[in-house]
A = this chain, B = another copy of it.
């Protein structure tokens, strides 16, 4: 049965991005350090990385797709170059309509302007039996958690305290979780929770 999952990298103090995010520095100051395990230990973390990119469809926020400067800059095709790592349909929550973008390698960006429920419905249909992954950013994660739509929360905790930035689990109320499994390498602790 298809699940709704989210894989989010956080600091020990719960930040998913550092302060002062910008087009040049989309993860904010020190935000890159949250993901060192992906780039410096890809072999040791292969099973986790494979699972992250195994979803049947993804949902992301407008700011995760690209910097928002009012009208669409139709030259902008996302942060990821011509072949994004999703290889699946990606539904981008947006306020302005835009034609779908078909990228290389199976990724298509579809822009959804009628809310998170609609995006989820479209993503479920596109994913079929595979999972739907809420890719981020923080505000989108929080909206889906608050609405009770998330089955599994998978945190990837990097060994640093950021002290400032964008906190992942603010404003989601209190959640009861069931701990499903824990693994670790030198640069990360992976914790998987079922949301009850």
Q: Which residues of A contact B (CB under 8 A)?
A: 12-14, 30, 155, 157, 159-164, 168-170, 172-179, 181-184, 186-189, 191, 193
Q: A179–B163 contact, CB under 8 A?
A: no
Q: B163–A178 contact, CB under 8 A?
A: no
Q: Of the candidates B14, B168, B179, which one forms a contact with A189 in the assembled complex, judged by CB atoms under 8 Å apart?
A: B179
Q: A184–B182 contact, CB under 8 A?
A: yes
So how many copies of this chain end up in the complex?
2
| Contact A159/B182 with A12-B169, A13-B169, A30-B174 known, Cβ cut-off 8 Å | no
Q: B174–A163 contact, CB under 8 A?
A: yes
Q: Across the interface, name the chain B residue whose C-beta is closest to A157.
A: B191
Q: Across the interface, name the chain B residue whose C-beta is closest to A195.
A: B161
Q: Of the candidates B160, B175, B182, which one forms a contact with A175 in the assembled complex, judged by CB atoms under 8 Å apart?
A: B160
Neighbouring B residues of A179 by C-beta, 8 Å: 159, 184, 186-189
A32–chain B nearest beta-carbon distance, Å? 14
Q: B177–A169 contact, CB under 8 A?
A: no
Neighbouring B residues of A161 by C-beta, 8 Å: 169, 172-175, 177
A17–chain B nearest beta-carbon distance, Å? 14
